[in-house]
A and B are shown apart, each in its own frame.
Chain A
Amino acid sequence: MNSIITSVPINSYILLCTTLFCIGVMGVLLRRNVIIIFMSVELMLNSVNLLFTAFSAYSSNPAGQIFVFFVMVVAAAEIAIGLAIVVMIHRNTKTVDVNEWSKLKG
Protein backbone atom coordinates (compact mmCIF):
# COMPACT_ATOMS: atom_id res chain seq x y z
CA MET A 1 0.00 0.00 0.00
CA ASN A 2 2.63 2.46 1.11
CA SER A 3 4.71 1.53 -1.87
CA ILE A 4 1.91 2.46 -4.24
CA ILE A 5 1.53 5.86 -2.62
CA THR A 6 5.20 6.45 -2.35
CA SER A 7 5.68 5.52 -5.95
CA VAL A 8 4.40 9.00 -6.76
CA PRO A 9 6.79 11.76 -5.72
CA ILE A 10 5.65 13.87 -2.77
CA ASN A 11 5.93 17.04 -4.78
CA SER A 12 3.09 15.89 -7.01
CA TYR A 13 0.85 15.38 -4.01
CA ILE A 14 1.66 18.79 -2.70
CA LEU A 15 1.05 20.37 -6.05
CA LEU A 16 -2.26 18.58 -6.52
CA CYS A 17 -3.48 19.36 -3.02
CA THR A 18 -2.53 23.00 -3.28
CA THR A 19 -4.36 23.27 -6.56
CA LEU A 20 -7.44 21.59 -5.15
CA PHE A 21 -7.27 23.80 -2.06
CA CYS A 22 -7.01 26.95 -4.13
CA ILE A 23 -9.94 25.86 -6.26
CA GLY A 24 -11.86 25.38 -3.04
CA VAL A 25 -10.87 28.83 -1.73
CA MET A 26 -11.81 30.42 -5.00
CA GLY A 27 -15.12 28.60 -4.93
CA VAL A 28 -15.83 29.89 -1.45
CA LEU A 29 -14.87 33.43 -2.34
CA LEU A 30 -16.45 33.74 -5.73
CA ARG A 31 -19.60 31.64 -5.82
CA ARG A 32 -22.80 32.99 -4.32
CA ASN A 33 -24.81 29.81 -4.11
CA VAL A 34 -24.47 28.51 -0.61
CA ILE A 35 -24.58 24.89 -1.75
CA ILE A 36 -21.61 25.48 -4.03
CA ILE A 37 -19.80 27.15 -1.16
CA PHE A 38 -20.36 24.08 0.92
CA MET A 39 -19.00 21.93 -1.84
CA SER A 40 -15.95 24.15 -2.08
CA VAL A 41 -15.38 23.83 1.64
CA GLU A 42 -15.58 20.07 1.24
CA LEU A 43 -13.06 20.29 -1.57
CA MET A 44 -10.65 22.17 0.69
CA LEU A 45 -11.11 19.67 3.46
CA ASN A 46 -10.52 16.77 1.12
CA SER A 47 -7.42 18.32 -0.35
CA VAL A 48 -6.03 18.55 3.15
CA ASN A 49 -7.10 14.97 3.79
CA LEU A 50 -5.19 13.80 0.77
CA LEU A 51 -2.13 15.66 1.90
CA PHE A 52 -2.43 14.17 5.38
CA THR A 53 -2.54 10.70 3.90
CA ALA A 54 0.41 11.34 1.64
CA PHE A 55 2.59 12.68 4.40
CA SER A 56 1.49 9.88 6.65
CA ALA A 57 2.58 7.29 4.14
CA TYR A 58 5.90 8.97 3.44
CA SER A 59 6.76 9.29 7.12
CA SER A 60 5.32 5.89 8.05
CA ASN A 61 3.29 7.51 10.77
CA PRO A 62 -0.37 6.37 11.02
CA ALA A 63 -1.39 9.42 13.03
CA GLY A 64 -2.01 11.44 9.87
CA GLN A 65 -4.48 8.88 8.55
CA ILE A 66 -6.27 8.86 11.87
CA PHE A 67 -6.64 12.58 11.55
CA VAL A 68 -8.22 12.11 8.19
CA PHE A 69 -10.96 10.03 9.74
CA PHE A 70 -11.55 12.70 12.33
CA VAL A 71 -11.75 15.36 9.68
CA MET A 72 -14.23 13.32 7.66
CA VAL A 73 -16.43 12.76 10.68
CA VAL A 74 -16.37 16.40 11.67
CA ALA A 75 -16.99 17.48 8.09
CA ALA A 76 -20.00 15.20 7.87
CA ALA A 77 -21.40 16.63 11.07
CA GLU A 78 -20.72 20.15 9.91
CA ILE A 79 -22.41 19.54 6.61
CA ALA A 80 -25.41 18.05 8.37
CA ILE A 81 -25.84 21.09 10.61
CA GLY A 82 -24.90 23.50 7.88
CA LEU A 83 -27.40 22.12 5.43
CA ALA A 84 -30.07 22.14 8.10
CA ILE A 85 -29.42 25.84 8.68
CA VAL A 86 -29.45 26.49 4.95
CA VAL A 87 -32.76 24.71 4.61
CA MET A 88 -34.22 26.76 7.44
CA ILE A 89 -33.01 30.03 5.96
CA HIS A 90 -34.20 28.98 2.53
CA ARG A 91 -37.67 28.47 3.90
CA ASN A 92 -37.73 32.05 5.11
CA THR A 93 -35.94 33.79 2.28
CA LYS A 94 -36.66 31.52 -0.67
CA THR A 95 -33.10 31.88 -1.86
CA VAL A 96 -29.74 30.24 -1.49
CA ASP A 97 -27.81 33.32 -2.58
CA VAL A 98 -25.49 34.38 0.27
CA ASN A 99 -25.50 38.00 -0.82
CA GLU A 100 -29.18 38.13 0.00
CA TRP A 101 -28.45 36.92 3.52
CA SER A 102 -27.10 40.15 4.93
CA LYS A 103 -29.12 40.56 8.11
CA LEU A 104 -26.31 39.27 10.26
CA LYS A 105 -24.72 42.61 10.87
CA GLY A 106 -23.77 44.59 13.98
Chain B
Amino acid sequence: MINAFLIAWPLFSVLLILAMGKDRAKWTALMAAIVQFCVTIYAWTQFVPTAGVQFGTDMEWIPQLGIHFNVGIDGISMLVVLLTNLLAPLIILSSVRKNYERPTLFYSLVLIMQAALVGVFTARDMFLYYIFWELALVPIYLIVLIYGAENRVKITFKFFIYTMFGSLLMLVGILYLYYLTPAPHNFDINTLSNLHPDAHAQGWIFWAFFIAFAIKMPVFPFHTWQPDTYTTAPAQGTMLLSGIMLKMGIYSVIRWILPIVPMGVQDWGKVALVLSLIGIVYGSWIAITQKDFKRLLAYSSFAHVGLISAAIFTLTLTGLQGSMIQMFSHGINIVGLFFIAQIIYDRTGTFQLPNLGGLMKKAPVLAACFLIILLGSVGLPLTDGFVGEFMMLSGTYQASPWIAAVAGLTIIFSAVYMFRLYQSSMLGELKPVPSTRDENFEDVKGSETIVLVIIAFLVVIIGIYPKPLLDTTEPAITAILKNIPNVDIWQ
Protein backbone atom coordinates (compact mmCIF):
# COMPACT_ATOMS: atom_id res chain seq x y z
CA MET B 1 0.00 0.00 0.00
CA ILE B 2 2.86 2.35 0.72
CA ASN B 3 3.79 2.28 -2.89
CA ALA B 4 0.31 3.25 -4.05
CA PHE B 5 0.36 6.01 -1.49
CA LEU B 6 3.64 7.30 -2.86
CA ILE B 7 2.03 7.65 -6.27
CA ALA B 8 -1.26 9.03 -5.04
CA TRP B 9 0.05 11.50 -2.49
CA PRO B 10 1.75 13.92 -4.89
CA LEU B 11 -1.36 13.90 -7.08
CA PHE B 12 -3.51 14.57 -4.06
CA SER B 13 -1.13 17.33 -3.05
CA VAL B 14 -1.83 19.03 -6.35
CA LEU B 15 -5.41 19.44 -5.15
CA LEU B 16 -4.09 20.80 -1.88
CA ILE B 17 -2.00 23.34 -3.75
CA LEU B 18 -4.97 24.43 -5.80
CA ALA B 19 -7.01 24.72 -2.63
CA MET B 20 -4.38 26.72 -0.79
CA GLY B 21 -3.99 29.32 -3.52
CA LYS B 22 -0.95 30.75 -5.17
CA ASP B 23 0.55 32.54 -2.19
CA ARG B 24 1.02 29.38 -0.25
CA ALA B 25 1.69 27.11 -3.23
CA LYS B 26 5.42 26.72 -2.72
CA TRP B 27 5.19 25.92 0.95
CA THR B 28 2.35 23.48 0.42
CA ALA B 29 4.37 21.75 -2.26
CA LEU B 30 7.39 21.65 -0.01
CA MET B 31 5.44 20.16 2.86
CA ALA B 32 3.87 17.59 0.55
CA ALA B 33 7.29 16.60 -0.76
CA ILE B 34 8.69 16.33 2.74
CA VAL B 35 5.81 14.10 3.80
CA GLN B 36 6.49 12.00 0.74
CA PHE B 37 10.15 11.82 1.67
CA CYS B 38 9.40 10.78 5.24
CA VAL B 39 7.11 8.02 4.03
CA THR B 40 9.83 6.87 1.67
CA ILE B 41 12.36 6.78 4.47
CA TYR B 42 9.89 4.83 6.55
CA ALA B 43 9.43 2.41 3.67
CA TRP B 44 13.18 2.09 3.35
CA THR B 45 13.58 1.20 7.01
CA GLN B 46 10.85 -1.43 6.61
CA PHE B 47 12.33 -2.69 3.38
CA VAL B 48 13.86 -6.16 3.38
CA PRO B 49 16.28 -6.35 0.46
CA THR B 50 16.16 -10.12 0.17
CA ALA B 51 12.38 -10.33 0.22
CA GLY B 52 11.77 -9.35 -3.40
CA VAL B 53 8.88 -7.08 -4.32
CA GLN B 54 7.30 -5.31 -1.40
CA PHE B 55 4.67 -2.70 -0.49
CA GLY B 56 2.87 -3.76 -3.66
CA THR B 57 -0.65 -3.19 -4.91
CA ASP B 58 -2.13 -5.28 -7.69
CA MET B 59 -5.62 -4.72 -8.99
CA GLU B 60 -7.34 -5.08 -12.31
CA TRP B 61 -7.56 -1.94 -14.30
CA ILE B 62 -8.73 -2.84 -17.80
CA PRO B 63 -9.59 -6.52 -17.46
CA GLN B 64 -10.54 -6.96 -21.13
CA LEU B 65 -6.95 -6.32 -22.12
CA GLY B 66 -5.37 -7.94 -19.09
CA ILE B 67 -4.04 -4.62 -17.83
CA HIS B 68 -3.37 -4.36 -14.13
CA PHE B 69 -2.55 -1.51 -11.84
CA ASN B 70 0.38 -3.44 -10.48
CA VAL B 71 3.07 -1.58 -8.54
CA GLY B 72 5.65 -2.83 -6.10
CA ILE B 73 9.09 -2.01 -4.83
CA ASP B 74 12.13 -4.23 -5.03
CA GLY B 75 15.72 -3.24 -4.28
CA ILE B 76 16.30 -1.50 -7.59
CA SER B 77 13.06 0.43 -7.35
CA MET B 78 13.71 1.27 -3.73
CA LEU B 79 16.91 3.08 -4.58
CA VAL B 80 15.48 5.21 -7.36
CA VAL B 81 12.27 5.94 -5.47
CA LEU B 82 14.42 7.06 -2.59
CA LEU B 83 16.40 9.25 -4.94
CA THR B 84 13.27 10.75 -6.48
CA ASN B 85 11.65 11.54 -3.20
CA LEU B 86 14.88 12.82 -1.73
CA LEU B 87 15.55 15.17 -4.60
CA ALA B 88 11.99 16.44 -4.99
CA PRO B 89 11.92 18.37 -1.70
CA LEU B 90 15.42 19.66 -2.38
CA ILE B 91 14.41 20.84 -5.82
CA ILE B 92 11.29 22.51 -4.46
CA LEU B 93 13.27 24.07 -1.64
CA SER B 94 15.81 25.34 -4.11
CA SER B 95 13.06 27.27 -5.87
CA VAL B 96 11.58 29.14 -2.93
CA ARG B 97 13.70 32.24 -3.44
CA LYS B 98 12.91 32.26 -7.09
CA ASN B 99 9.20 33.24 -7.12
CA TYR B 100 7.95 31.70 -10.31
CA GLU B 101 4.96 33.24 -11.99
CA ARG B 102 1.81 31.19 -11.60
CA PRO B 103 3.25 29.15 -8.73
CA THR B 104 0.24 26.85 -8.45
CA LEU B 105 0.84 25.67 -11.98
CA PHE B 106 4.56 25.26 -11.50
CA TYR B 107 4.41 23.28 -8.29
CA SER B 108 1.51 21.20 -9.52
CA LEU B 109 3.59 20.20 -12.51
CA VAL B 110 6.53 19.30 -10.30
CA LEU B 111 4.37 17.12 -8.09
CA ILE B 112 2.63 15.44 -11.02
CA MET B 113 6.03 14.68 -12.37
CA GLN B 114 7.09 13.24 -9.06
CA ALA B 115 4.05 10.95 -9.02
CA ALA B 116 4.73 9.86 -12.56
CA LEU B 117 8.37 9.15 -11.79
CA VAL B 118 7.51 7.04 -8.77
CA GLY B 119 5.06 5.27 -11.02
CA VAL B 120 7.71 4.59 -13.64
CA PHE B 121 10.09 3.29 -11.03
CA THR B 122 7.60 0.95 -9.39
CA ALA B 123 5.23 -0.21 -12.14
CA ARG B 124 5.30 -3.94 -12.63
CA ASP B 125 2.83 -3.95 -15.49
CA MET B 126 4.35 -2.80 -18.70
CA PHE B 127 1.27 -0.98 -19.92
CA LEU B 128 1.06 0.93 -16.67
CA TYR B 129 4.74 1.60 -16.92
CA TYR B 130 4.29 3.06 -20.37
CA ILE B 131 1.48 5.30 -19.16
CA PHE B 132 3.67 6.67 -16.39
CA TRP B 133 6.61 6.98 -18.75
CA GLU B 134 4.59 9.24 -21.04
CA LEU B 135 2.95 11.01 -18.16
CA ALA B 136 6.35 12.02 -16.83
CA LEU B 137 7.15 13.70 -20.11
CA VAL B 138 4.19 16.08 -20.07
CA PRO B 139 4.94 18.12 -16.92
CA ILE B 140 8.60 18.60 -17.75
CA TYR B 141 7.66 19.60 -21.27
CA LEU B 142 5.33 22.23 -19.90
CA ILE B 143 7.82 23.41 -17.29
CA VAL B 144 10.48 23.98 -19.93
CA LEU B 145 7.99 25.46 -22.37
CA ILE B 146 6.41 27.90 -19.94
CA TYR B 147 9.33 28.82 -17.73
CA GLY B 148 12.29 28.27 -20.02
CA ALA B 149 14.79 30.72 -21.44
CA GLU B 150 14.91 32.05 -24.97
CA ASN B 151 14.37 29.68 -27.88
CA ARG B 152 12.36 27.45 -25.62
CA VAL B 153 9.58 26.71 -28.09
CA LYS B 154 11.87 25.28 -30.68
CA ILE B 155 14.00 23.38 -28.22
CA THR B 156 11.17 21.87 -26.22
CA PHE B 157 9.52 20.84 -29.46
CA LYS B 158 12.65 18.99 -30.46
CA PHE B 159 12.93 17.44 -27.03
CA PHE B 160 9.33 16.32 -27.11
CA ILE B 161 9.44 14.86 -30.59
CA TYR B 162 12.74 13.15 -29.88
CA THR B 163 11.53 11.43 -26.73
CA MET B 164 8.15 10.67 -28.31
CA PHE B 165 9.91 8.94 -31.15
CA GLY B 166 11.73 6.71 -28.70
CA SER B 167 8.56 6.05 -26.74
CA LEU B 168 6.74 4.92 -29.85
CA LEU B 169 9.48 2.48 -30.69
CA MET B 170 9.13 1.13 -27.20
CA LEU B 171 5.36 0.92 -27.63
CA VAL B 172 5.84 -1.25 -30.70
CA GLY B 173 8.10 -3.49 -28.66
CA ILE B 174 5.58 -3.66 -25.85
CA LEU B 175 2.75 -4.60 -28.17
CA TYR B 176 4.86 -7.24 -29.84
CA LEU B 177 5.61 -8.79 -26.48
CA TYR B 178 1.97 -8.47 -25.47
CA TYR B 179 0.79 -10.58 -28.37
CA LEU B 180 3.44 -13.17 -27.62
CA THR B 181 1.99 -13.76 -24.17
CA PRO B 182 -0.33 -16.73 -23.89
CA ALA B 183 -4.01 -15.79 -24.14
CA PRO B 184 -5.53 -14.07 -22.32
CA HIS B 185 -2.73 -11.63 -22.95
CA ASN B 186 -1.27 -9.49 -20.21
CA PHE B 187 1.57 -7.05 -19.55
CA ASP B 188 2.83 -8.44 -16.29
CA ILE B 189 6.60 -8.26 -15.83
CA ASN B 190 6.81 -11.86 -14.70
CA THR B 191 4.96 -13.10 -17.74
CA LEU B 192 7.10 -10.99 -20.03
CA SER B 193 10.31 -12.18 -18.40
CA ASN B 194 9.33 -15.78 -19.03
CA LEU B 195 8.47 -15.29 -22.67
CA HIS B 196 11.92 -15.92 -24.10
CA PRO B 197 11.25 -14.91 -27.72
CA ASP B 198 13.66 -16.28 -30.28
CA ALA B 199 17.03 -14.62 -30.60
CA HIS B 200 16.16 -12.72 -33.77
CA ALA B 201 13.05 -11.20 -32.25
CA GLN B 202 14.96 -10.37 -29.09
CA GLY B 203 17.42 -8.38 -31.13
CA TRP B 204 14.62 -6.25 -32.56
CA ILE B 205 12.95 -5.78 -29.20
CA PHE B 206 16.28 -4.92 -27.67
CA TRP B 207 16.77 -2.08 -30.12
CA ALA B 208 13.20 -0.87 -29.86
CA PHE B 209 13.60 -0.58 -26.11
CA PHE B 210 17.19 0.49 -26.05
CA ILE B 211 16.72 3.42 -28.40
CA ALA B 212 13.83 4.65 -26.27
CA PHE B 213 15.95 4.43 -23.14
CA ALA B 214 19.09 5.65 -24.88
CA ILE B 215 17.30 8.83 -25.87
CA LYS B 216 16.21 9.40 -22.32
CA MET B 217 19.60 8.73 -20.71
CA PRO B 218 21.04 9.88 -23.22
CA VAL B 219 23.56 7.63 -24.91
CA PHE B 220 25.67 8.66 -27.87
CA PRO B 221 24.50 9.50 -30.56
CA PHE B 222 20.97 10.15 -29.28
CA HIS B 223 22.00 12.98 -27.00
CA THR B 224 21.73 16.18 -28.96
CA TRP B 225 18.42 17.20 -27.42
CA GLN B 226 20.05 17.20 -24.02
CA PRO B 227 22.51 20.13 -23.89
CA ASP B 228 19.97 22.47 -25.47
CA THR B 229 17.16 21.39 -23.20
CA TYR B 230 19.31 21.56 -20.08
CA THR B 231 20.52 24.98 -21.04
CA THR B 232 17.07 26.30 -21.81
CA ALA B 233 15.10 24.76 -18.99
CA PRO B 234 14.61 26.74 -15.78
CA ALA B 235 16.90 25.62 -12.96
CA GLN B 236 14.38 23.34 -11.35
CA GLY B 237 13.47 21.86 -14.70
CA THR B 238 17.11 21.06 -15.38
CA MET B 239 17.43 19.50 -11.95
CA LEU B 240 14.38 17.32 -12.55
CA LEU B 241 15.64 16.34 -15.97
CA SER B 242 19.19 15.58 -15.03
CA GLY B 243 18.70 14.43 -11.47
CA ILE B 244 15.75 12.12 -11.83
CA MET B 245 14.40 11.88 -15.31
CA LEU B 246 17.48 10.51 -17.00
CA LYS B 247 17.49 7.79 -14.36
CA MET B 248 14.28 6.55 -15.99
CA GLY B 249 16.34 5.40 -18.93
CA ILE B 250 19.00 3.70 -16.85
CA TYR B 251 16.48 2.13 -14.53
CA SER B 252 14.43 0.84 -17.42
CA VAL B 253 17.41 -0.85 -19.01
CA ILE B 254 17.99 -2.79 -15.83
CA ARG B 255 14.33 -3.37 -15.09
CA TRP B 256 13.01 -4.32 -18.52
CA ILE B 257 15.73 -5.01 -21.05
CA LEU B 258 17.94 -7.29 -19.01
CA PRO B 259 15.23 -9.73 -17.84
CA ILE B 260 13.04 -9.70 -20.94
CA VAL B 261 15.52 -9.93 -23.78
CA PRO B 262 18.68 -11.47 -22.33
CA MET B 263 19.67 -12.94 -25.67
CA GLY B 264 19.22 -9.58 -27.32
CA VAL B 265 21.55 -8.17 -24.69
CA GLN B 266 24.10 -10.82 -25.41
CA ASP B 267 23.96 -10.17 -29.12
CA TRP B 268 23.77 -6.40 -29.06
CA GLY B 269 24.95 -5.38 -25.60
CA LYS B 270 28.46 -4.94 -26.90
CA VAL B 271 27.27 -2.40 -29.43
CA ALA B 272 25.43 -0.53 -26.70
CA LEU B 273 28.56 -0.68 -24.58
CA VAL B 274 30.74 0.70 -27.32
CA LEU B 275 28.25 3.54 -27.90
CA SER B 276 28.38 4.30 -24.20
CA LEU B 277 32.16 4.30 -24.24
CA ILE B 278 32.18 6.66 -27.18
CA GLY B 279 29.80 8.85 -25.21
CA ILE B 280 32.19 8.98 -22.25
CA VAL B 281 35.15 10.19 -24.25
CA TYR B 282 33.13 12.29 -26.65
CA GLY B 283 31.10 14.08 -23.99
CA SER B 284 34.12 14.67 -21.79
CA TRP B 285 36.18 15.97 -24.61
CA ILE B 286 33.52 18.42 -25.66
CA ALA B 287 33.05 19.53 -22.07
CA ILE B 288 36.68 20.59 -21.84
CA THR B 289 36.25 23.71 -23.90
CA GLN B 290 32.63 24.60 -23.21
CA LYS B 291 32.16 28.19 -22.16
CA ASP B 292 28.63 27.95 -20.88
CA PHE B 293 28.28 26.80 -17.28
CA LYS B 294 25.14 24.78 -17.84
CA ARG B 295 26.22 23.37 -21.15
CA LEU B 296 29.46 22.17 -19.62
CA LEU B 297 27.50 20.44 -16.89
CA ALA B 298 25.19 18.95 -19.48
CA TYR B 299 28.08 17.39 -21.35
CA SER B 300 29.68 16.20 -18.13
CA SER B 301 26.40 14.56 -17.18
CA PHE B 302 26.27 12.97 -20.59
CA ALA B 303 29.76 11.55 -20.11
CA HIS B 304 28.98 10.25 -16.63
CA VAL B 305 25.81 8.57 -17.81
CA GLY B 306 27.85 6.94 -20.55
CA LEU B 307 29.90 5.24 -17.88
CA ILE B 308 26.79 4.11 -16.04
CA SER B 309 25.33 2.65 -19.18
CA ALA B 310 28.62 0.98 -20.10
CA ALA B 311 28.80 -0.60 -16.67
CA ILE B 312 25.32 -2.06 -17.06
CA PHE B 313 26.22 -3.77 -20.29
CA THR B 314 29.24 -5.44 -18.77
CA LEU B 315 26.64 -7.62 -17.02
CA THR B 316 28.79 -7.99 -13.95
CA LEU B 317 27.53 -7.68 -10.42
CA THR B 318 30.16 -5.11 -9.59
CA GLY B 319 29.36 -3.07 -12.66
CA LEU B 320 25.61 -3.12 -12.11
CA GLN B 321 25.92 -2.36 -8.42
CA GLY B 322 28.25 0.46 -9.34
CA SER B 323 25.77 1.84 -11.81
CA MET B 324 23.00 1.68 -9.21
CA ILE B 325 24.97 3.61 -6.64
CA GLN B 326 26.22 5.98 -9.27
CA MET B 327 22.65 6.68 -10.37
CA PHE B 328 22.01 7.81 -6.85
CA SER B 329 25.19 9.83 -6.53
CA HIS B 330 24.92 11.36 -9.95
CA GLY B 331 21.41 12.51 -9.14
CA ILE B 332 22.58 14.24 -6.01
CA ASN B 333 25.70 15.75 -7.55
CA ILE B 334 24.17 17.04 -10.73
CA VAL B 335 21.26 18.62 -8.90
CA GLY B 336 23.74 20.38 -6.65
CA LEU B 337 25.85 21.56 -9.57
CA PHE B 338 22.92 22.87 -11.56
CA PHE B 339 21.66 24.62 -8.49
CA ILE B 340 25.02 26.31 -8.09
CA ALA B 341 24.87 27.34 -11.72
CA GLN B 342 21.50 28.92 -11.03
CA ILE B 343 22.69 30.65 -7.86
CA ILE B 344 25.51 32.24 -9.81
CA TYR B 345 23.16 33.17 -12.62
CA ASP B 346 20.67 34.77 -10.25
CA ARG B 347 23.38 37.05 -8.97
CA THR B 348 25.37 37.78 -12.09
CA GLY B 349 22.93 37.24 -14.91
CA THR B 350 25.31 35.09 -16.88
CA PHE B 351 26.22 31.47 -17.44
CA GLN B 352 29.25 32.42 -19.50
CA LEU B 353 32.45 31.29 -17.82
CA PRO B 354 34.66 33.99 -19.33
CA ASN B 355 32.47 36.57 -17.57
CA LEU B 356 32.80 34.89 -14.21
CA GLY B 357 35.67 34.55 -11.77
CA GLY B 358 36.86 35.21 -8.26
CA LEU B 359 33.53 34.49 -6.62
CA MET B 360 35.24 32.60 -3.81
CA LYS B 361 36.27 35.84 -2.24
CA LYS B 362 32.67 37.00 -2.02
CA ALA B 363 31.00 33.70 -1.36
CA PRO B 364 33.16 31.30 0.63
CA VAL B 365 30.27 29.06 1.65
CA LEU B 366 29.15 28.69 -1.93
CA ALA B 367 32.73 27.97 -2.98
CA ALA B 368 33.16 25.31 -0.30
CA CYS B 369 29.90 23.54 -1.14
CA PHE B 370 30.68 23.80 -4.83
CA LEU B 371 34.06 22.21 -4.27
CA ILE B 372 32.66 19.30 -2.28
CA ILE B 373 29.93 18.56 -4.80
CA LEU B 374 32.39 18.96 -7.64
CA LEU B 375 34.74 16.50 -5.98
CA GLY B 376 31.84 14.09 -5.80
CA SER B 377 31.34 14.53 -9.50
CA VAL B 378 35.04 14.11 -10.18
CA GLY B 379 34.96 10.90 -8.17
CA LEU B 380 37.40 11.63 -5.44
CA PRO B 381 37.59 8.87 -2.82
CA LEU B 382 35.38 9.42 0.23
CA THR B 383 32.84 11.19 -1.93
CA ASP B 384 29.79 9.48 -3.37
CA GLY B 385 31.08 9.59 -6.92
CA PHE B 386 34.07 7.44 -6.17
CA VAL B 387 32.19 4.41 -4.90
CA GLY B 388 30.13 4.15 -8.04
CA GLU B 389 32.93 5.04 -10.38
CA PHE B 390 35.28 2.55 -8.80
CA MET B 391 32.76 -0.26 -8.94
CA MET B 392 31.73 0.53 -12.48
CA LEU B 393 35.30 0.64 -13.68
CA SER B 394 35.95 -2.58 -11.83
CA GLY B 395 32.99 -4.08 -13.67
CA THR B 396 34.22 -2.86 -17.02
CA TYR B 397 37.63 -4.24 -16.16
CA GLN B 398 36.10 -7.66 -15.67
CA ALA B 399 34.64 -7.30 -19.14
CA SER B 400 37.96 -6.27 -20.61
CA PRO B 401 40.98 -4.31 -19.39
CA TRP B 402 40.89 -2.21 -22.53
CA ILE B 403 37.32 -1.15 -21.91
CA ALA B 404 38.32 -0.21 -18.39
CA ALA B 405 41.21 1.82 -19.74
CA VAL B 406 38.97 3.77 -22.10
CA ALA B 407 36.20 4.19 -19.56
CA GLY B 408 38.80 5.17 -16.98
CA LEU B 409 39.74 8.17 -19.07
CA THR B 410 36.72 9.74 -17.47
CA ILE B 411 38.64 10.21 -14.23
CA ILE B 412 41.24 12.27 -16.07
CA PHE B 413 38.77 14.16 -18.23
CA SER B 414 36.39 14.92 -15.40
CA ALA B 415 39.27 16.43 -13.45
CA VAL B 416 40.18 18.56 -16.45
CA TYR B 417 36.78 20.08 -17.14
CA MET B 418 35.50 20.22 -13.60
CA PHE B 419 38.54 21.96 -12.22
CA ARG B 420 38.50 24.27 -15.17
CA LEU B 421 34.90 25.07 -14.35
CA TYR B 422 35.78 25.69 -10.73
CA GLN B 423 38.75 27.80 -11.54
CA SER B 424 37.01 29.99 -14.04
CA SER B 425 34.02 30.64 -11.84
CA MET B 426 35.35 30.66 -8.29
CA LEU B 427 39.06 31.43 -8.45
CA GLY B 428 41.11 34.21 -9.90
CA GLU B 429 40.33 37.88 -9.71
CA LEU B 430 36.76 39.03 -9.24
CA LYS B 431 35.34 40.10 -12.59
CA PRO B 432 33.01 43.09 -12.80
CA VAL B 433 29.56 41.63 -12.54
CA PRO B 434 27.77 42.29 -15.82
CA SER B 435 24.30 42.38 -14.38
CA THR B 436 22.73 45.26 -12.58
CA ARG B 437 20.65 42.86 -10.57
CA ASP B 438 23.18 42.43 -7.88
CA GLU B 439 26.07 44.82 -7.55
CA ASN B 440 27.65 42.95 -4.73
CA PHE B 441 27.82 39.20 -5.14
CA GLU B 442 26.11 37.78 -2.07
CA ASP B 443 26.98 34.50 -0.49
CA VAL B 444 24.29 31.85 -0.35
CA LYS B 445 21.75 32.27 2.36
CA GLY B 446 18.62 30.73 3.82
CA SER B 447 17.11 28.01 1.72
CA GLU B 448 20.07 27.98 -0.65
CA THR B 449 22.46 27.18 2.15
CA ILE B 450 20.19 24.44 3.44
CA VAL B 451 19.97 22.75 0.06
CA LEU B 452 23.69 22.99 -0.64
CA VAL B 453 24.73 21.83 2.80
CA ILE B 454 22.38 18.86 2.64
CA ILE B 455 23.74 17.90 -0.75
CA ALA B 456 27.37 18.36 0.30
CA PHE B 457 26.70 16.34 3.41
CA LEU B 458 25.14 13.52 1.37
CA VAL B 459 28.11 13.58 -0.99
CA VAL B 460 30.48 12.85 1.86
CA ILE B 461 28.26 10.46 3.83
CA ILE B 462 27.54 8.23 0.86
CA GLY B 463 31.22 8.27 0.02
CA ILE B 464 32.20 7.08 3.45
CA TYR B 465 29.39 4.67 4.16
CA PRO B 466 27.62 3.48 1.00
CA LYS B 467 26.79 0.11 2.50
CA PRO B 468 23.08 0.72 3.18
CA LEU B 469 22.52 1.65 -0.44
CA LEU B 470 24.60 -1.22 -1.74
CA ASP B 471 22.80 -3.66 0.53
CA THR B 472 19.45 -2.42 -0.70
CA THR B 473 20.09 -3.24 -4.32
CA GLU B 474 22.40 -6.23 -4.24
CA PRO B 475 19.84 -9.05 -3.93
CA ALA B 476 17.65 -7.61 -6.67
CA ILE B 477 20.60 -7.11 -9.00
CA THR B 478 21.85 -10.60 -8.29
CA ALA B 479 18.41 -11.98 -9.12
CA ILE B 480 18.35 -10.17 -12.43
CA LEU B 481 21.82 -11.35 -13.36
CA LYS B 482 20.96 -14.89 -12.41
CA ASN B 483 18.21 -14.97 -15.01
CA ILE B 484 20.56 -14.05 -17.82
CA PRO B 485 22.07 -17.16 -19.32
CA ASN B 486 25.84 -17.11 -19.83
CA VAL B 487 26.36 -13.95 -17.88
CA ASP B 488 30.07 -13.98 -18.46
CA ILE B 489 29.67 -13.08 -22.10
CA TRP B 490 32.95 -11.24 -22.02
CA GLN B 491 35.17 -14.07 -20.97
Direct touch of chains A and B (CB < 8 A): no
